[in-house]
Structure 1
């Protein structure tokens, strides 16, 4: 008798905590791609090589996922495939390329902070082009987030030189590109499904990255130290495929808003992983800036739509 009365209250709680844990793990793994990229740059490879090897290793896994999704889903219209190709090019190919390019010039912690401004760019784009109403709380959240990023950016400029500005602009472009992906994918994800859309879009992005590599680099450029391939495999499995799948499962269990809030652990984890693995210093200004960005994004995530 007691077991039947307790299980309804315990089971949903455990399911929610399990989903929350998956979202947190996914955010940490996905944020760690900046750390892996920084480690790869020590072997004198560039952004083209980093993203190409990442996608070369990721493509077979996403192809299997896409095939599995296609078998269990109705066929798509031609216009839907065209939209998926476009989204794959701007959301993962362009965004990832600009991100890794910027990481050559800025710290992993600053990169993660800039990328976590993506929700604010979604808001601003919606306000500018779709006439979405923005409340005082949202404007305040934007101001707090940008102030935090400005603090860390100023700190890195003082310690890292003019290239920090170039790297920040490139990562800013990555954040805006991904914000456009989120806006344009809104209608399509409801019709296609989140996991199917991600699998298809990542396949498009992977193919684009591989084509780009063979246009810009000779085949002989693939001869790299074994450590580069080991890091690329880690980047593909643990920082790309695994976090994408974990996040999708988490969204299905606890919903997108809760999964987004759990993702706020990303910039914090990158800051401390950068300190442990890359010897990037952690200063009071960086911690203050991180706290401001997280506060601003948290306010955005709590806003009722």
Structure 2
């Protein structure tokens, strides 16, 4: 028998494993942006400059995809254009800006854990604004997740300085903004497609981030040491563009549920990358908090929708 001929089941299995690896790789790369941001802050740049450099390097890729979609697909309605502007400002501009502001004051481990609460914010917003019922398992998942955050927060508060509450609040705002983006984009992504939505929204976000820089900072601030450009290039391409497309491809291959569960590797990878690259200590408190957050998100991902 020719070994080069594979069975349909083997092809399906290979496609599934490939999608799973893409989801894991995307989660790790996206989480690495926190570590890159900490390295950039060592060169005494602020969050406004950091996020501007990130979008300057990622914008050409997203703009190319957006132009391709504009030429190959029907034009958007005026209402959808305004919705995309709003999504770009909330989901990628506001959430990213708050995240990078918060990273000035807290560890990358705590930052990633707080951002990982995004699914719980989606649930809470759905319950309060959309009047959806929350089941017992979902409440348990929320309680377990937030217990993990409190554990790590209290630990960092004792040894992280007086600005830990401020940094945590900023990152919490980032998670809430991205949760709002996910809820608001749910209907549009079915209508115009995820690739088109992400490309357009990222272009809006890039314009806002870069425009904000020129409003608040002098042009001379774009002249930075060579390592700043190298780290910003990594932040823009490896930690922004690559994970966006990797995650999108993974969702197409294995589904959103499996891709989101694979993303649970994000907080763990950030915790250990922070230890290896930034010399941030990994304590038993942080490991316990991480385990609780991951357990809570796992419970939430397996909870059955309860409807309205």
- Farther off after superposition, 138-147 or 221-230: 221-230
Listed as ranges, the matches of 1:186-201 within 5 Å are 186-201=186-201
Alignment of 1:179 with 2:217, yes or no, is no
* CA drift at 1:75: 1.6
Secondary structure in structure 1 of the residue aligned to 2:235: helix
Listed as ranges, the matches of 1:283-298 within 5 Å are 283-298=283-298
Alignment of 1:206 with 2:206, yes or no, is yes
Instruction: Supply the distance in 2 between the matched residues of 1:162 and 1:141 (Cα, whole angstroms).
Output: 30
Q: What is the CA RMSD across the aligned residues, in angstroms?
A: 1.3
The residue aligned with 2:222 is 222
The residue aligned with 1:262 is 262
The residue aligned with 1:71 is 71
- Farther off after superposition, 37-46 or 59-68: 59-68
Listed as ranges, the matches of 1:107-186 within 5 Å are 107-186=107-186
Secondary structure in structure 2 of the residue aligned to 1:32: helix
* CA drift at 1:210: 0.6
The residue aligned with 2:253 is 253
* CA drift at 1:111: 0.2
Instruction: Supply the distance in 2 between the matched residues of 1:53 and 1:198 (Cα, whole angstroms).
Output: 19
Instruction: Supply the distance in 2 between the matched residues of 1:97 and 1:163 (Cα, whole angstroms).
Output: 17
* CA drift at 1:74: 2.0
Alignment of 1:54 with 2:54, yes or no, is yes
Instruction: Supply the distance in 2 between the matched residues of 1:160 and 1:253 (Cα, whole angstroms).
Output: 41
The residue aligned with 1:30 is 30
* CA drift at 1:71: 2.7
* CA drift at 1:3: 7.2
The residue aligned with 1:272 is 272
* CA drift at 1:219: 0.5
* CA drift at 1:70: 2.4
Listed as ranges, the matches of 1:1-20 within 5 Å are 7-20=7-20
Instruction: Supply the distance in 2 between the matched residues of 1:114 and 1:206 (Cα, whole angstroms).
Output: 24
Secondary structure in structure 2 of the residue aligned to 1:304: coil
What whole-Å deviation, never above 9, does each CA across 1:166-217 have from its counterpart, x for those lacking one? 0000000000000000011010110010111000000000000011000000
TM-score (norm 1): 0.98
* CA drift at 1:76: 1.1
Instruction: Supply the distance in 1 between the matched residues of 2:271 and 2:226 (Cα, whole angstroms).
Output: 27
* CA drift at 1:304: 2.7
Instruction: Supply the distance in 1 between the matched residues of 2:124 and 2:236 (Cα, whole angstroms).
Output: 32
Instruction: Supply the distance in 2 between the matched residues of 1:54 and 1:234 (Cα, whole angstroms).
Output: 8
What whole-Å deviation, never above 9, does each CA across 1:25-69 have from its counterpart, x for those lacking one? 000000000000000000001101110100011111110111122
